[in-house]
Structure formats: C-alpha cells, structure tokens
Structure 1
C-alpha cells in the first residue's frame, strides 16, 4: 500500500444483492487505514423505509428494531461522502459496494464519488492463487483470521482490513521481476485495482531486497527451485517393519496417532502379502468406514517400497489422491525414522508448460481477461513445486481456451532450451522414476494400463475404494464424443477475420515463405463449412430429443436415451455422414498446411512453431473424432447401442454420445489380472460376507478376504429405525410416493434440530419432495438444500457443513465419498433401497449380456450392487468414537422382502433394527440426542 495514503475499507449490507432503484442500504461500515494501521472506524445501521425480508435479517443478524431506530441514508450521506473524500476505496467485491453507494448518493441528489477503487476479491485471486474459496469468511479463515459475524458490515470491513494487509505483505515478498510484470498487466484488473501493484512496485524499486534463496529467475520468470531428491538413498538400508503390537503402538503414539488392533492386523496382512514373491491370489481387505483404513495400508507401504520396487496406490477421486499425499503420507513421514519420495501420478495435461506460458506472456494484451490468468500464474510460479494446474482454483474459468494453450503435452518438443532443466513435465518424470510410492486415481490407472500395458510391471498395487473398479473399467472401455470439446476446438481455429483465433494468427504471418495464402484460404473455407454443419447437427439432435414423447421437461437432471438407428430421423442420419466427410476433408486440408510447416521447421519463427503445435493438436483430435463417429454412428448392433446424454438445463453444451467396447474391457481385465501383487480394499467389498460379486465382475480366479470389525460401539452410538407406517399412495411396484416421503421427513424432524441427509435414487423425486417441503412451510426454521436445485454438489456440501438445522436431499454423489463428522450430520433417511434403474442404458446393456450367458441379472448384479451402495449410505454416519447418529429407512422391503437378509447382514453386528411408527421414532430421536454420554 502507498505510504501515508488513507485507504477506506468499506462494506455495505442491503435489502438485496442487485444495484437498482428497488434495493436500499441497511448498514454502512468503513474502516480508515493508513500505513497498515486503523485510524478511524464508522458504522451505522440505515433505515431503508421498507420491510426487510426474513432471509436478509437472518443473514445479517440485523433486526427490524435496529432499522426502525436508525437514521435514513440522506441523514448521513454528507458525512459518508466527506469521510471518503481523498481516500482509496477498498471493498471485497468493489463492483457491488462502490456502485451501490454511488447509486444511493444519486438517489438523494448528491454527486457520485470519483475516488479510486480497489477490489480485494480480484487481488486475492491473483496473489493467493491456491486458495479454495475467495469468499471473505473462508478466505480470511485460511489466512488466520476468525470472522465471527459474517454479513455484518462492520465485522466484514474489519476482516477486509486484515485481508488487505495480508495482500500487501504477500505482494511485497514477491521478486521484483514478478511485481514488474504484474504492474504491467494490471490494466486488466477492475476499477483502479492496478494502483495496488503500481504503488508496491514504486516502493520496491526504492528499497530493493535480495532474491529469496528458494527462487530462480529464467527469462524474466521467477520460479521456485526444483526440489532435490529427499530419498537420501535410504532405500539401500533396510528398516525393520515393527510386527509387534508394542513396537507399532509406540511408534504411532509418537506421531500422535491412536493404535487400533484391527488396523494392526490390516498392516500385517498387507506386509505379508507383498513379501510373497509370486502370490497366486488377489488380496481383498474390507475395513469399516472411519476405521483408519488409509493408515492401515500406507504404513506398511512405506516400509516395503523403494524406487526399484514401487508401491502404486490408487483411489477413486483426484481429491482423495492429493489428500493421501499432502496429509496422510506427509504426517507419517514426519514421524518415521526414514524418508521416502512420494509422487502424484496423473495426466501430463495437468501440468503447466513453461515454454507455452512464456510464449503466451509475451503476446498477451494487458487489457484482456487472459492477462488476469497470467498474473495469477506469475505468482503461483513462485509457490509451486510440481506445476500441477489443479493446485489453482480456476472455478468458472476452467474451460477457457487459455488453460488448454498453456498445458503440457507428453513428448512435445520444448521450444525454449532455457526451460529444459526446470520443465514441470520433465520434473514429473524424474519424480516418478525416483519415487518409492506413486499415488494415482482409478481412471488414470486404467487409462495407463490400456495405453502402456507394461507400466506396472514389478510394482505392488493397492486399490482403495475398490468397489468402484468394475464401473471404472466400464468407463475406460466406453468410447465417448463430447459436443462441447469439438465446438471449442472449432472456435479456436476460428476464421481469418476473427481476432485471437488460429486462422487469424496465420493470416497475420502472411506473406510467409512457409505458409501459402491459398492453403490458408482453403482451410478457412473448410473450417467455416464444418462449423456451420456442426452447429446445425447439434441443434437437430437437441430438437429431436426434447420433442420426443418420452421427454419430461419438469425434471432438471442428466437425461440418457438409447439410440436405435432405424428410429432416427432421416435428416440426422444424412447430416451425420455429411459432417463426418467434411471433418475428414478439414483434417486433410489442415495437414497440407502443417506438413509444409513441418518440412521447414528449422526455419520457423517461434510464433510459427507455436501455431503449428496448436493446429496439429486440434487436427490430431479431429482425426480421433472421425474414428469415434464411425464407431458410434455406423453400427446397428442392438445388443451394444450408442447412448446420447445431456443435462436438461443446458442441453446443447452438455450433449455427448457414448458406446461400450467389449474388446477394450477384456484387454483391461487381462492386464489387471496379470499384475503380480494386487490389494483391493474398501469399506464395502463384501455382500453377505462374500466378495463373489466383485470377483466375478473382475474375472478374478483366486482371492483371499480379510474382514476387520469396527471399533465403534454402535449399540450406544447409533440407532437404526425402519418405519412401520404404510404408504397408502404407494404404487404396485412398492415405490414410495412424494407425499409419503414429505410427511415422513417433516414428522421425523418435528422434535429435533439436528442436520439430516435424505438419500434418494431419483432426481425426479428429489425435485418433487423439495417443492412440497418449500410449499408446505412446516420446516421454515430449517435450511433445505437439494441436488440440482441448490447449486453444484461441492457448493451444497459446503452450505450443509456451515449451516445448522439443515435438510439435504441428495442422490448418487451423496451416498458415498462425503464425510460429515460430529455435529455436521446426525440423521440419515433412506427413502428407497438403492437398486439401479433397469431403464439406464448401461444397465440394460449389462443385463442383456448376462441373460445371454444364462445369468440372473437381479441376483448376480442388481442385488449385490444395491447392498454395496446401501453399505456406503450407512457409512455416512459414525466416523469417530464421539459421533452419534440415527438412520431411518422408509422402504419396508428392507425387512420384508425375500432378499432382506442380504441387507440386514450388511449392518454392523451390534446395530439393532428398530421397527416403529414415525411418531415414536421422532420421540426417540429427541431423547437419543439429548442423552449425554
């Protein structure tokens, strides 16, 4: 911040979030800061002369009484205007506060403020690029500040003061070369935010400091120095694995970890299995949710692994993958008497290409949105060890073409020799080579297996969340075509006339001895023809799909439809063939231009090389697209049809097609079963004490199963109820009705304030129940959230975790993979047993195949999958010794059906099933949660 300059940190609360004649101010707060110190504070409620909604009152904590006795804005307008004169206005989202305040001044006949304004949201996105959230409360909490009364203007303004000082501190710790580039690009920032960088640069030039020892500068880019190998050659000396309970307990306690006997047994099972030279079985391990399963396999892996005998650990999601490395393994290595190198194994396209970024930085327009991305990366380069772009919170900008252009490409030539030694992709390869443990995710593991069959020779494999493996293999064996990807690539090619497109870039190089004008004209015409045909083709598909008799437009969800080619309209069939021919012609024409450039590669300028690389990448993908078109749309095989999928809220941008390939699946299963050592672990591997379902799905011949009991006291910590109430509106297929579920939720929660997760199997039912709950108003005191209604899954999870007295209506993604510890979740209601819908295209295909083999789809597929899913739903509760929770099952089939024992046997042994009417369950809930342990 500029020395001796006064900064006015402002926050405003209003009757609504829009700027217009209908909204009024209800609180104004301002903290004046000079040289980082508070010199004056002003805070006042403001009478809006109108009723304020209950939502706003609850959000801000401002009562009607507070406002009734407050001054009107016109009474304090002159004071505020005078207070802010000669200051620099600062706000967290200055676009709202500054404009809203000026609108208020205009309304009372006063002149607008013309002082400079700075936005701390944008500053935070640039200077703290790794933060997960840029909301004021979450951001300041991450930086060490506790904001107790968010959405109160004074408390928010004080939090913003703290943030502004942190931003200033961060900026001035950056290398001068970085700050110079930030100031140069800062014209792209909103309002006068660029002043923040320019003032800092001036001060840093007057008082220069030495470059931090952790950084290096190459071609004007300040980078964090590459990490040295921290293995310290300790893999050459053997560390004795502590078999004895006493030794293990002592070591774990030194790390602050509790010892569990089941965990000890799991560790020894894994260690003994990997010590077998050529075991003829695959080891299954089922450990209950919350039992410390991750520690159970990481601990022996660290003792067993070396760079020559790696342990590859795979989990289901990228989030869990990073969590294992940054939290679980990091904590273990702090307490063990040796060091091991750990490496994330993920797609090369996740990493930044320094050469591509350097090229982009030289050409970026300082007034363009991409300048903001460059500023963010310039700061991030001083922080990142790996160059993994997933470290950055990209949010809604994730699909911007900029990020594709700066990503690494495997085997791509490095155009700048200066970056060769620090290239992130090269670092990744070295890390993986030297690492003792590689951590990956299932999707990438099997994609690697498919492309490079020998990748995992001489490695020990451990697959966590292994109940997902059959589906992951199916997904890897499914050929997909995404409309959005092709649309984006055609836009990148663009036209000769459209700025910031590849064809326009080619035009700017003319006259050129390497690019011929007629070649560019031909490619331009071809791209135009394909783009027009592609747009029409996509629109025809959407028009046909949404006007089908079976289409239900009331339900916002992912829609899937099996395609039978004899039922497709003639114009779609014709246009499909026509488009494919045109795309093949575009690839041919494009290759004529790029082949000429390839021949003259040594004479090419850097700009021509970059253009060549970008165009080649798109042409290569289009070549793949033509092959996929032939596979997806040229067959009439009814047993393995193509399926179209789209999200009903925005169908055109989400349209995609997919078709299963049995040959690919067979290859993956063969690779999987030929591995030397494989451990499969999960909290839900078995059905009725057997892993025969997974064994059959994966083609496993020999296996051993280790089952470990839970360490929790379910008899005291939990209750499971099955309602005896009968749904009088139920259909013959035993499905429960909307009115029944709505009433059950209301009655169950009538005497408790605890958070509740309601699990469904139908998006349609979620939306119907949500609508009824809102309309009836019996749960007005609660926050009601619903999948596909209240935002993204990640957003809903955050809202639910922060709120109290919440009800969350969720489907597939909430049955597993999300933890709500302690008070965040106390009640789980299961509306219906989680059987897969037989109408789902992939389910249909799977069942057709099973019937052809003489197998019963319900017994061999539907039922075991439902039991595993149910066990995952049960696992949402009781994750620690302190947890207390209740399950309520509304589906009577759980206790009455002929297959009920399969579900009942999946429960913890000491969890008793209570069958009671809902009113009695409600009474019990109140007593259970009020009882102190």
Structure 2
C-alpha cells in the first residue's frame, strides 16, 4: 500500500443488487486503513423508505425493526461523502458498491465521488490464481480468516480489509520483473485497480529484494524452477517389507492412522501378488468403505516399485488421482525409511505451452481482456511446477478461447522462443522418467491404449474404482462427432467483414500475397456450411421430437440409439451435402495455406496464417469423425445421438461404437504382467465373475474384505410395506405423487440432511415440483439435479445449506462427495437397473444374445447390484457415524432375484419392512 495513503474499504447492503433500478441502501460500512493498520470504522443501517423482501432480510440478517429506527440516506449522505474524500475507495466488486453509492448521492443532490476505486475481486483473481472461489467468504476463509456474518456490511468490510492486506503482502513477494509486467498490463482492470499494483512497484523499486532461490528468469518470464525429486536409494533403516502386524502398526501410527486388520491383510495380499515374477491370474480385491483401501494397495506398492519397474495406478476420478500424488505418497515418504517419487499421467492438452503464452503476452494490448488473463498467468508461473491449466480453473470456470490457444497441443501459436527444459510438457516427461509410481485416471489411460501407445506403461497395473473400467473401455471405444465444435471452427473462420475472424485478418493480405477469388471462394463455402449446419441440426432435433423420443420439457442429457434406415431422406441428403462441403473447404483452405506459407510475412501476418492452419486442422479432424460416424459401415457398431434437452441445438452430438477398439484395449489390459483391480463394489453374490467376463480376463482370483463398521448398531435399512412399483405403472404423475408423499413423510420430522437417489431425470423434476409446494418442507433446502444446478454446484450448495434434501441420479450414486457425517438419510426410489434402450446397453445385450447368454442375468442384474452397493456406500464413513437407508422399491424383498440384492448388504445390516409412518418415527428416534 502507498505510504500514508488512506484506504476506505467499503461494503453496502441494499434492497437489490441492480444498478439503475432505484434500489435503496439498507446498510453502509467503511473501514479506514493507513499504512496497513485499521484507523477507524463506520457502520450504520439506512432506512430505505420501503418494505424489504424476506430474501434480503434473511440474507443480511437485518430486521425490519433495525431499518425502521435507522436514519434516512439523505440525513447521512454528507457525513459519508466527507468520510470518503481524499481516500482510495476499495470494495469487493467495486463496480457495484462505487456506482451504487454515487447513484444514492445523485438521488439526494450530493456530488458524485471522483476518487480512485480499487476492486479486490480482480486483484484476488490475479494474485491468487488457483483459488476455487472468489466469493468473499470462501476467499478469506482459504487465507485463514473466518467471516461468520457474511452479507453484513461491517463484517464484509472488515473481511475485505483483511484481504487487502493479504493482497499487498502477495504483491511484495513477487519478483520485480513480474510486478513490472503486471503494471504494464494493468490498464485492463476495473476503475483504478491498477494503481494498487503501480504503488507496489514503486515501493519495490525503492527497496528491491533478492530473487527467491526457487525462481528463475527465462526470456523475461519469472518461472518456478523445475522440481524433480530424486529417489533416495540410501535407506535410513531396514527396507524389508514389514510382514508382521506389530511392524505395520508402528508405521501406521507414524502416519497418524489407526489399525485396521482388513487393511493389513490386504497389504500382504498385494505385496505377495506383486512379488510374483509372472502370475497367471488377475487379482480382484473388494474392500468395503472405511477399510483403508488406498493405503492397502499403496503401502506395499512403494516397497516393490522402482524407476526400472514402474507401477501404474489408475483411478476413476482426477480428485483421487491428485490426492494420491499430493497427499498419500508424500505421507508415506515422510514416515518410511526411503521415499518413492510419483508422477501424474495426464494428456499434454492439460499443460500450458510457455512458447504459445510468450507469443500471446508479447502481442496483447493492455486494454484487452486477454491482458487480464496474462496477468493471472504471470503470477501463476511463479507458483506452478506442473503448468497444468486445471490448477487455475481452465475447463471449469475459464472458457475463453485464449485458454485453448496457450495449451501445449495448440498448433497455431508457436513461437521462435524456445523454453527447452522449462517447458511444462518437458517437465512432465522428466517426472515420468524419474518416477517409480505413475498415477493416471481411467479415461486418459484407456485413451492411450485406444491409440495403442501402451509403451508408456509398465507391466504392473493397479486399477482403483475398477467397477468403472468396463464402461470407460466402452466409452473409449466410442467415437464422437460434436456439431458445436464444427460450428465454432466455422465461426472462427468468419468472413472478410467480421472483425476478429481469420478471413478478416487474411483480407489485409489479399492484394500483396493472395488472389481475391481465393478468399471469396473460402468465404462462400464457410457461409454455406454455417447455414447448412444450422438447418441440419434443427432437422435432427425436429425429427427426434416428432418421432416421440424426446420430451424437451425434461432437463437432462438424452441418449438414444440411432437407426439410419429410419432417418428421413431430407436429413440423409443434407448429411451428404455437408460431407462434400467440408471436403471443399479443406481443399480450398489448404491451397490458400500453401500459398501463404511460401510467402515472406511479418509477425502479425504469420500469426494469422498460424490461426488459419490451426483451425483447418481442427476442421479436418472433425470431418474425419463425421465421415466415420455417418458413412463408414462397420460390423458390430452401434450409433447413438446425445444432447441436453434444454439446449439441444447447442449440444447435439453423434457417437459410434467400435468393437475392434474395445478388443484392442482388452488385449493391452491382458498384456500387463500384474493386474490388480480394486473397488468397494466389485462382487455380485460374493463373486467377481461378472467383472471378470466384462474384461475378458480368463484367470482371476478374488479377495473380499468386509467393512469393519458395526452396521447392526450404526445403520438401519427399511423397505415400506406400500408398493411403489404399482404406482409407477400408472404413469409419471401418479408415481411422482407417490414418491413426493412418501419422501415428505420420511424427512419432514428430522433435521438431518437427506439424499434421494433416482434413475430418471423426468421423475426427479416432477417430484421436485411437488416437494417445493409442500408446506411441511418450507424450512428445508430442496436441491434437484439440473434444476438447481450441476452435480458440482449442488454439492457446494449442500455444504452451505441446512436441512437439505438432494434429488439426484447418475453421479449422485457415488461420484458427488458430501462432507463426512453431514449426510444421514439415503432414500433409494428404485433399484438401479439400466435402461435397455441406451445405445451401449443395446449393444451389450445384442452381444450377449448372440452368444446365448441372458442379458438380464449376465448384465442388467449384476450392474444394478454394483450400483446399489454404491448407493449403500453413501453412508457410514466413520466408526461413530450413523445412517438410515429407505428403499422405496419392494422388488428388493419380493422379486425372484431379491436374494442377490439382500446378499450384497454389509454384514449386520438387515431389512426392516414397516409402514412409511412407522419408518419416519424410527428415523427420528434412531438419529
């Protein structure tokens, strides 16, 4: 902060969050800070002269009585104006607070403020680039400050003052060269936010500091030095694997973990298997939730793995993948008499290209939004060793094309500047070379197998969350054509009159380097294709609607099998026309590219040519997918169409299954010398035969480790006497009404959070509509998948709300995590059988029928049991945890196959059949 300068950190609460809609102030707070010290605070409620709605009162905690006795703004306007004169105005989202305050001044005849204004949101986005959330409470919470009363102006202003101090500290720790670059680009920031950076730069120039030891300057960029951990081959003590229980207990105690007998047995099993030179079988291990599965395979692995004989661990989720590398293995290394290095296996598309970024950085104007992105990256470069763009939210929050253009895979933005060993893909390759344990995720691993580039991987493979592997293999063997991606490329080509498009940039080269007719021809093809693609997509959607396969009112991802013999001739004709037009575009575009690449061009012109080449490469790739999906006739292939029903034209995609690719991947799996497949849900009827057949593994052995939790005391499972299946046969509305009524009865008397698991998005949305109208549930937060948001968003909302009822399908059966001990009730509305109409399900069932197997017995039933076990695994995560399951599907106890589900329950958990009213009372008493 500037010496002796007074900073006014302001927060305002109002009747609404809109500018220019005559909203009124209800609270004003200001914290005055000088030389990093708070010197004064001012806080007052403000009478808005109108009624404030309940939502705002609940959000802010400000009552009608508080406002009724508060001064009017016109009575305190002059005091506030005087308070803020000669200060620098600071707010978290200054665009609202500063402008709103000036509107209030204008309304009462006071002169607007003309002082500098600084936005802590933008500064935080730049200086803390890896934060998940920039909401004030989340942000200061991650920096060590507890904001107990968010949306109270005084508490928010105090939290923002804390944040300003942290931002100032962060600026002073940056390398001088980074701070200079930030200052040069700061014109892109809101109001005078850049002044804060400039003041820090002036202070640093007066009192320069030495460069940190872990920072290196390369081509004017301050980078964190590559961090390669060499393995310690010199042991601090005995290196032999600790077979004895006492020895393991000592190690686990050093790790801060308690003894788990099943875990110790699993460790020995894994070690013995990995020590075999060439086992003739794959090892399946089912370990119940809470049994310590991850350390169960990781602990023996570090004793066996080496740089020469690497072990590949693969998980289903990237979250677990990163936890293993960043938390589990470092924990083992800190306690064992040696350490093993691990490396993440990720596609090069995850990593930033320093060369591509350098080009963008040198060309960007300080007034562009891309300047702000460059500022964020300049700070991140001083912190990241991996350069993985997911660290700063690319792909989830950051969607601008800028982020695609700086990826290592992006061909059109190379640079003459070479960063050699500092490049992040080079760093990744070095880490992989030095590591003993490579940690991947199933999607990446199988994608590499699909390309048959399995040379990266060793002969030892451990697949965690292995019940997903058959599905991921089928997905990896499926080629997808995304219509939106082609439209995006065509729009990027643009026209000669559309600014920021490639054709507009090439128009400037027309007279000296290319002929006018070349551009005109390319532009004509692009325009025709854009129009034709839009019509083609609309025709597909219309055809799906008219054939009765889609209900657009239901918000969900739709996936349907596609039979081309039933498709209209109009669509078939347009499909052939698009194929021909794509070929013409590529022919003309490549001719133009050849002409330009053989011409002497300046840097700006070279950039345009590189963008043309990159876009043509993407179109060529999509054209190949288009040909494969629509025109290549292959045996054993299944084609499907997928889209999101709320935005079908923007999400339409086509998939084609390739049986040969699946067989190739299964062969690669079998080539591994050691294969361990582990999960909390693998067995059906005590056997892994289903998984073994799905992966075509001829020889396999299995071990099943039951939960160590006392389900008899910790859990209750109920099945109502009322029959929901009869209600489901009457149609959607009667069935949804039945479910809503029973859910209400089960949860309205308990304060505990509840997860309701469905198999149909259509049913979820109808039940949600009914539950939100129930008077007895007014005090509960009801969240529904794709109505309240995505699964990730709902998970975040759940953590903030009280007495939540979450309605979900798909990933909510296992993928979405809730805080431990926060979830107490799980209601399963229907046993989780797959829909036989799904394209890949149809494909599997045809294969089974062809070889004489029963699809229900060999596919639908075992898959439903595995998913059911995942639903059961949502509860009881600690020895003291308690939970209740209610299964609203009497097939669980009445069907001919009921024993298969009953046998899958944890030991000690028995089914209790009672009327719903009694179940509700038992839930309340038990919890």
| TM bracket (short chain) | over 0.9
- CA displacement 1:596-651 (0-9 Å, x = unmatched): 55567xx7665566555443333333223222222222367897442221112222
Equivalent residues in 2 for 1:255-334, closer than 5 Å:
255-334=255-334
1:695 paired residue number: 692
Asked if structure 1 preserves the Cα contact closer than 8 Å seen for 2:503 and 2:523, the reply is: yes
Name the residue aligned to 1:840.
838
Equivalent pair of 2:638/2:840 in contact (CA under 8 Å): no
Say if 2:342 and 2:437, in contact at 8 Å, map to a contact too: yes
Tell me the distance in 1 between the aligned counterparts of 2:606 and 2:683. Answer: 55
**1:923 partnered with 2:921:** yes
Deviations 1:77-116 (A, max 9, x none): 2222222222222111122222222233333333332222
What residue in structure 2 maps to residue 30 of structure 1?
Answer: 30
1:828 is displaced (CA, Å) by: 0.7
Q: Deviation string for 1:452-511 (max 9, x for gaps)?
A: 344255431001000001110110111101122222222333334333333344444567
Q: Is residue 11–residue 157 contact of structure 2 (8 Å, CA) maintained in 1?
A: yes
8 Å contact 1:12–1:27 — kept in the other structure?
yes
The aligned runs of 1:344-423 (5 Å cut-off) are 344-394=344-394, 398-409=398-409, 415-416=415-416, 418-423=418-423
1:716 lines up with 2:713 in the alignment: yes
Task: Say whether 1:661 aligns with 2:655.
Answer: no
- Equivalence for 1:561: 560
Instruction: Name the structure 1 match of 2:52.
Output: 52
Equivalent residue runs for 1:688-837 within 5 Å: 688-727=685-724, 730-732=727-729, 737-837=735-835
Say if 2:356 and 2:413, in contact at 8 Å, map to a contact too.
no
Q: What is the distance in 1 between the residues matched to 2:304 and 2:535?
A: 58
Corresponding residue number in structure 2 for 1:463: 463
Structure 2 partner of 1:111: 111
Shift of 1:762: 0.9
How far is the alpha carbon of 1:162 from its aligned partner?
0.7
1:440 is paired with a residue of what secondary structure?
A: strand
Q: In structure 2, what is the equivalent of residue 480 of structure 1?
A: 480
Secondary structure of the equivalent of 2:643? strand
Shift in alpha-carbon separation, 1:620–1:797, aligned structure 2, 3 A: same
Aligned counterpart in structure 2 of residue 645 of structure 1, from 631, 642, 645: 642
Give 1:545's aligned residue: 544
Give, in whole Å, the separation in 1 of the partners of 2:759 and 2:918: 26
Q: Which residue of structure 2 lines up, in the alignment, with residue 533 of structure 1?
A: 532
Partner of 1:580: 579
In 1, the alpha carbon distance for the partners of 2:834 and 2:608 equals: 48
Match of 1:674 among 671, 690, 693: 671
Note closer, same or farther for the CA distance 1:298–1:366 as it changes in structure 2 (3 Å cut). same
Q: Is the 8 A contact 1:565 1:636 kept in 2?
A: no
Shift of residue 180 of structure 1? 1.2
Over the residues paired in the alignment, what is the CA RMSD in angstroms? 2.4
Contact 2:582 2:623 (8 Å CA) reproduced = yes
Mapped partners of 2:698, 2:504: distance in 1: 59
User: Deviation at 1:732?
Assistant: 3.5
DSSP-derived class of the 1:148 partner: coil
Which among 867, 890, 893 is matched to residue 892 of structure 1? Answer: 890
Aligned 1:551-630 pairs, distance under 5 A: 551-596=550-595, 610-630=607-627
Q: Give the aligned partner of residue 70 of structure 1.
A: 70
Asked if 1 retains the 8 angstrom alpha-carbon contact of 2:489 and 2:618, the reply is: no
**Distance of aligned partners of 1:358 and 1:516 in 2 relative to their CA distance in 1, 3 Å threshold:** farther
Q: Tell me: CA distance 1:616–1:235, structure 2 relative to 1, closer, same or farther (3 Å).
A: farther
CA contact (8 A) 1:449 1:455 kept: no
Between the aligned partners of 2:921 and 2:68, the Cα distance in structure 1 is 41
**1:676-711 CA deviation, whole Å, 9 max, x = no partner?**
111000000001101111111111100010111211
Report if aligned partners of 2:459, 2:671 keep a CA contact under 8 Å in 1: no
Structure 2 CA distance for aligned equivalents of residues 232 and 417 of structure 1: 36
1:701-748 alpha-carbon deviations (Å, 9 max, x no partner): 000101112111111211111122345971448998111211112111
Residue 818 of structure 1: how far off its partner (Å): 2.9
Q: Separation in 2 of the partners of 1:97 and 1:343?
A: 46
- Aligned-partner SS, 1:211: coil
**Cα separation, partners in 2 of 1:801 and 1:769, compared to 1, 3 Å:** same
Structure 1 residue 520: Cα displacement:
4.6
1:247 is aligned to 247
Q: 1:685 aligns with which of 669, 682, 685?
A: 682
CA deviation after TM superposition for structure 1 residue 238, in Å = 8.7
| Contact 1:401/1:492, CA 8 A, preserved across alignment | no
Classify the secondary structure of the residue corresponding to 2:257.
Answer: coil
The whole-number CA distance in structure 2 between the counterparts of 1:173 and 1:504 is 43
Q: Deviation of residue 858 (structure 1)?
A: 1.1
Query: 1:524 offset after TM fit, Å?
Result: 3.8
Contact 2:637 2:659 in 1 (8 A): no
Aligned-partner Cα distance in 1 for 2:234–2:579: 57
Aligned position for 1:198 = 198
In the alignment, is the contact (CA less than 8 A) between 1:822 and 1:882 conserved in 2?
Answer: no
Distance 1:728 1:813, change over 3 A: closer
1:906 CA displacement: 0.8
Q: Which residue of 1 aligns with 2:83?
A: 83
Q: Which runs of 5+ in 1 are unaligned?
A: none
**CA-to-aligned-CA distance 1:557-606 (integer Å, 9 cap, x gap):** 11233333233333322221111111112222222233455567xx7665
May I ask how many residue pairs the two structures share in their alignment? 926
1: CA distance between counterparts of 2:846 and 2:22? 60
- Which position in structure 2 is the counterpart of 1:870? 868
Residues 82 and 414 of structure 1: CA distance in aligned 2, closer, same or farther (over 3 Å) = closer
- Local SS of the residue matching 2:455: coil
SS of 2:101's partner is helix
For 1:611 and 1:19, the matched residues in 2 are separated by: 40
Secondary structure at the residue paired with 1:223? Answer: strand
1:479/1:727 CA distance change after superposition, 3 Å = closer
Matched residue of 1:785: which SS? strand
CA–CA separation in structure 2 for the residues paired with 1:159 and 1:236: 47
Task: Give the alignment's TM-score, normalised by structure 2.
Answer: 0.95
Unaligned runs of 5+ in 2: none
1:231 equivalent to 2:231? Answer yes
Tell me if the contact between 2:764 and 2:808 (Cα under 8 Å) persists in the aligned partners: yes
Q: Distance in 2 between matches of 1:165 and 1:330?
A: 32
CA distance in 2 between partners of 1:908 and 1:395 (Å)? 39
Q: Distance in 1 between matches of 2:452 and 2:214?
A: 36
Q: 1:417 to 1:359 in 2, by over 3 A?
A: closer
User: What is the CA–CA distance in structure 2 between the aligned matches of 1:575 and 1:779, rounded to whole Å?
Assistant: 52
Q: How big is each residue's C-alpha offset from its partner over 1:429-468, in whole Å with a ceiling of 9 and x where there is no partner?
A: 1111111111111011011112134425543100100000
Secondary structure of 2:290's aligned partner = coil
What displacement does 1:652 show? 2.2
